[in-house]
A and B are shown apart, each in its own frame.
Chain A
């Protein structure tokens, strides 16, 4: 069932290479603290203040976090990861700030630096902790604000920051720009699959992902086959094709807005009514849920994850699939960013049903899915590899218990992390991404 792909790119090495070219900003400790404080304050609104006022220090969130469950190290308790934000809130915004200023210490540059590991290496922003907190604290949303503060203070990991700067300033990721896009598209065209590039007008704008350039063009090829099969009026735009947003992963809000803006402008230029985000986990919520607010107005198009699009087209009867009569059961790994944080929980399952593949669910599935351990930019950090492997073990156990031989997912990062896990553990599972599975079974 598995599509053949080249081996998984070494994102750690890519990150390190990018980091070596980063010119870090020279800042004093006082400047770093001031910048972080400013970013924290800018990120705290009434909702977040309510969350910050509610914490009862019960620590239950630890048991929702794959990094804590896998290591039992208390520092990985999700609410602990926002400690610098709590401090700043208490002293600067809280109704009791006059009291806290007398009784608590201000956040320090050393502390902020120490929190880099907690906000980046050991948090994939999967949001599972936000589902368990008995007070209803949306911890994930606050960890993003911690990232905003650390990025502003120059404490984001250089691996992420370097790519964020590259993408912000040049519109490329790992050097992949319009020329590389054309090369990849030519490869797909050489296989007889039409890919419309830079059509002046199109109903649907399809985004690509860094994987198309780092590995092979199989995901783009699969997507193109499907788009042509359903008869969509679609295009890829060379001035806005990359779905990944390293500004968001780094926590650099201005970079995030600028990177999203490029896609929005490309869609507006060709009059697209729909943007399809390819199988890139974080890219979907960043564009679907965050871009409009940063843009300052509602987006003039709808944003769909490719799995949503597939389910929609299958339901409408335009996507015709070869349905297996006695399909071998598979299990589905919900990408956190698409499911819990994105809202697309049933779409992939509907597509698998249309393919005639029964789904054997893991214990934690759908909204309570356990993260594979690779999201949120963690895959780019070599030093987090050991931690990622430990967290992956939890995923492996849940997959094993289903008895399914194949794991289907709908996110390139999850896909690659699962494949890496397969390599680490000499695992006998097939890892398949949904878009390729569909393209191989077009009727």
Chain B
């Protein structure tokens, strides 16, 4: 038996890491597959004679788009590198925090080396601080405010909450909640992220690849590096 909240005989923690997580994964998988349906729309055949093969340009753009030429990048430095920083930090925390690795090991059956907690703490703080700065930027910068939708704000919460609940669980700063309940909230925040993912811009984690490929291929066909 766990400590903490019980609802109809099942602890909140068992609910969060049991049925809630399982259903969240089901929604995630079905939702992602469904949303990728956009790529099944009619494809137009280009009848012009190509200057060069398009596929190599598409493959190249998968990586080169991460490093735009200086004249294009010079005015987006902060946004560009803060984006890199928090995404990389997020993946480090997700995959190299020992309890996370153990959780995945329980599912996959194998584990991997992890980072000391000090580093995990640094990366967690870095991610949260950058996410906060980027949110302030989104609401104050006229360009961003103009193109922002509810999706942007909800997706921000979906990304931020697992870090917040994770830090609170890890540090036991739970404002009166039992550790088990805090951990349950951490799992529930992950469930929310998984369920929200297919309905939101979080899908960019998948769409970025076909999109980069397609722009790379389109330009390469004309003999231009994208």
Contact = CB atoms under 8 A, between A and B. Distances in A.
Nearest to A302: B49
Contacts of B41: 44-46, 49, 93
Contacts of B47: 292-293, 295-299
Interface string B210-226: 11111110110011111
A7 interface: no
Interface stretch (B3-11, B16-24, B147-155): B147-155
Interface string B19-61: 0000000000000001111111111111111010000000001
B218 A45 contact: no
B199 A62 contact: no
Contacts of B215: 51, 130, 133, 136-138
A80 B142 CA distance: 12
Contacts of A298: 47-49
- Chain B binding surface SS class: helix
A128 B73 CA distance: 12
B69 A135 contact: no
Nearest to A365: B71
Interface residues of B, number: 61
Interface residues of A, number: 65
A56 B218 CA distance: 21
B72 A132 contact: yes
A60 interface: yes
Contact of A134 (B44, B48, B83, B225): B83
A137 B211 contact: yes
B222 A57 contact: no
Interface stretch (A20-28, A71-79, A153-161): A71-79
A75 B146 contact: yes
Nearest to A63: B75
Contacts of A68: 143
B144 to A, nearest CB: 5
A34 to B, nearest CB: 20
Contacts of B111: none
A47 B75 contact: no
A403 interface: no
B48 A293 contact: yes
Interface string A155-180: 00000000000000000000000000
B214 A53 contact: no
B43 A135 contact: no
Given A80-B147, A130-B226, A138 B39 contact: no
Contacts of B172: none
Given A99-B199, A367-B225, A45 B214 contact: no
Given A53-B38, A95-B38, A298-B47, A136 B211 contact: yes
A133 B222 CA distance: 19
B48 A50 contact: no
Interface string A59-101: 1101110001100001101011000000000000111100100
28 contacts: A44-B41, A46-B43, A50-B207, A51-B211, A53-B38, A53-B203, A54-B204, A68-B143, A77-B143, A77-B147, A79-B147, A99-B199, A130-B215, A131-B69, A131-B72, A135-B208, A136-B65, A136-B208, A137-B211, A138-B214, A141-B218, A292-B49, A293-B45, A298-B48, A299-B49, A343-B223, A345-B224, A367-B224
Interface of A: 44-47, 49-60, 62-64, 68-69, 74-75, 77, 79-80, 93-96, 99, 128, 130-138, 141, 288-293, 295-299, 302, 339-345, 363-364, 367-368
Which 8 A-B residue pairs are closest in the complex by CB-CB distance?
A: A136-B212, A343-B223, A292-B47, A343-B222, A74-B142, A54-B211, A136-B215, A49-B38
Given A46-B41, A51-B215, A135-B211, 6 more contacts: A53-B35, A60-B79, A60-B80, A136-B208, A289-B46, A295-B47
